[in-house]
């Protein structure tokens, strides 16, 4: 299990910091772990799972669109 920084999350997802925190507030992005008074990190596996979920959603939409 690996924990990653906000910069690494941004690099993996191509999302801006503000977008990541907006998605967290909406409940659609993995919550960060507090690892210090002013330091948060994410579980890499949860971020990867979030990415895989976006891919699955995209593929589902493509399949539905192809049935029309």
- Residues 49-68: pLDDT tens digits? 999 999 999 999 877 777 76
The C-alpha atoms of residue 36 and residue 55 are separated, in whole angstroms, by: 33
The C-alpha atoms of residue 42 and residue 37 are separated, in whole angstroms, by: 15
Whole-structure pTM value: 0.87
Q: Which domain holds residue 49?
A: 3-66
> How many structural domains compose the chain?
1
Residue 7 has pLDDT above 80, yes or no: yes
């Amino acid at each position: 299990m690996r924990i990653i920084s906000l910069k690494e999350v941004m690099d993996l997802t191509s999302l801006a910091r503000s977008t990541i925190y907006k998605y967290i507030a909406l409940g659609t992005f993995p919550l960060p772990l507090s690892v210090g008074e002013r330091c948060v990190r994410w579980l890499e596996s949860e971020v990867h799972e979030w990415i895989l979920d976006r891919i699955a959603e995209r593929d589902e939409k493509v399949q539905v669109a192809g049935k029309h």
